Amino acid sequence: MEELSAIVLAAGEGKRMRSNQPKVLHQVCGKALVEWVCDAAFEAGIQKCITVVGHKAEEVMAYMGQKVQFALQKEQLGTGHAVMQAQPLIKDAQGYVIILCGDTPLIKGSTVKKALDYHISSGNAATVITTELEDATGYGRIIRDASGQVKKIVEHRDTNEQEKAVREINSGIYCFTVKHLLDALNQLNNHNSQGEYYLTDTIEILIAEQFKVGALKIDDSTELLGINNRIQLSQAEAIMQKNIVNKHMENGVTIMAPATTLIHSNVEIGGDTIIYPGCIIEGDTKIQENCMIGPNSRIINSIVEDNVEIQYSVVVDSYVGRDTHIGPFAYLRPGSKIGKEVKIGDFVEVKNAVIGDKSKVSHLTYIGDAEVGKNVNMGCGTVVVNYDGQKKHKTIIGDNAFVGCNTNLVSPVVVNENAYIAAGSTITDEVPKDSLAIARQRQIIKQDWVKKRRGLND
């Protein structure tokens, strides 16, 4: 089989983004623009993906990691020049190459495949992927001759009045037969309004050499949206978001108000889960079946088992066991591992702590760096005092313990199983199992103290 390669152009600064971050690292639905494009290439069965990096190359390379190969474009002298930098990596390749822009994140794997299949079966030297737009401002125009054959591509800046009126645009995606691409690159020059080496000129060059050049027009122009500024970034986010939310609804998830719901691309959600309005579900979150999420909750990189309810809460890098209730207004910080049938109630914060099955932490409590056993009751206003100003320490609470309201557990401390702690205690020493700890002063009653005081004042 012929080798299929992709070259993804990602060296530009993206001036129109007005950002310190390279354009291709801006994200849509939790994934950088360039990663969407490379993933589409892999989905289409491409074996080798070469990413051309330049502006802030180290950042782009660090983000993409081992997934792709890199070619460095030290100076950004245009899209044609960018492809030249990848030449050494494709020089020996027999077969075909698809060139993609790192700023068109909505391109689908199926479309990449369709473009390559079309290119190969039509025997073209080059095939440009085009679409028609209502407003073609900013895009290169496809200029065809009287018989409808593609003649050349003219950049928006370089168009005359007649060309400006053309609505068929260059998507920035092209398929080439490798040897023809290499031939055309050798002949590129920078004689244009920008003084750049335009990849688009390869089309005219190959036509002049009598090679067959074609175009594949795609009906769904949204897939080809190029991101040059933050307005287009938000348009891409909205389109992608709609696709993601629709996919979950097709899979049996109820999403009450799709327009208010943000779900990242890697998120998995089980059937019959209901997402209430205003939820943001990010990263590698996995939510199982029959859950009720929201309203207004944010869940990041977490696992949520069956039948869980999470209301008005934030859950980050955590695990929530089945049949557990979280919130309203709870905050599960990284490293929280909440068991089955647990209740984490209002204004409770948990950090790097295990809460055993069937335990209840119902209100106004902080649990940090702790191991709480099964069936424990943490009273209202309990604080695990995990930080001594220099170091964090750990507290352990055994199964069936009962911690009275407004207790401080000064870490490191152990409360053994079945122990009781009287309300208002500040616990600094180990509490043996089955015993009661009271760590506060006895109440004193001063009979008629108020009356006497009044008498003095009278």
| Catalytic residue list | 363
Site string for ligand UD1, 186-215 (x = CB under 6 A): ------------xxx---------------
**Among Ca ion, ligand UD1, none, partner that 368 touches (CB below 5 to 8 angstroms by kind):** none
Is residue 105 at the binding interface for ligand UD1, with CB under 6 A as the rule? no
| Paired strand residues for 143 | 152
Is residue 140 at the binding interface for Ca ion, with CB under 5 A as the rule? no
Strand pairing class (303-304; 286-287): parallel
In degrees rounded to 5, what are phi and psi of residue 326?
-120, 130
Query: Which tokens go with 179?
Result: 């040897």
The residue within the footprint of ligand UD1, chosen from 41, 50, 101, 216 (CB under 6 A), is: 101
Is residue 107 at the binding interface for ligand UD1, with CB under 6 A as the rule? no
Is residue 350 at the binding interface for ligand UD1, with CB under 6 A as the rule? no
Nearer to ligand UD1, 76 or 260 (CB): 76
CA dist., res. 23 & res. 147, Å (int): 39
The residue within the footprint of ligand UD1, chosen from 6, 46, 64, 77 (CB under 6 A), is: 77
Nearest Cα residue to 41 out of 98, 104, 1:
98
Is residue 153 at the binding interface for ligand UD1, with CB under 6 A as the rule? yes
Q: Are residues 22 and 59 in contact, defined by beta-carbon separation less than 8 angstroms?
A: yes
CA dist., res. 339 & res. 321, Å (int): 5
Residue 147 CB, nearest approach to ligand UD1 (Å)? 23
Q: Are residues 420 and 401 in contact, defined by beta-carbon separation less than 8 angstroms?
A: yes
| Span 34-53, contacts to ligand UD1 by CB under 6 A | 52
**Which position's Cβ is nearest ligand UD1?**
140
Residue 23 CB, nearest approach to ligand UD1 (Å)? 6
Please tell me the count of residues contacting ligand UD1 according to CB under 6 A: 30
The DSSP annotation for 212-253 comes to -EEEEE-S-GGGG----SHHHHHHHHHHHHHHHHHHHHHTT-
Is residue 78 at the binding interface for ligand UD1, with CB under 6 A as the rule? yes
Is residue 102 at the binding interface for Ca ion, with CB under 5 A as the rule? no
Cβ burial of 457 (10 Å; 0-12, 13-18, 19+) is exposed
Is residue 130 at the binding interface for ligand UD1, with CB under 6 A as the rule? no
**Which position's Cβ is nearest Ca ion?**
226
Is residue 226 at the binding interface for Ca ion, with CB under 5 A as the rule? yes
The residue within the footprint of ligand UD1, chosen from 46, 113, 129, 139 (CB under 6 A), is: 139
Cβ burial of 125 (10 Å; 0-12, 13-18, 19+) is buried
Task: List CB contacts of 206: < 8 A, sequence separation 6 or more.
Answer: 125, 126, 180, 183, 184, 213
Binding site for Ca ion (CB under 5 A): 103, 226, 228
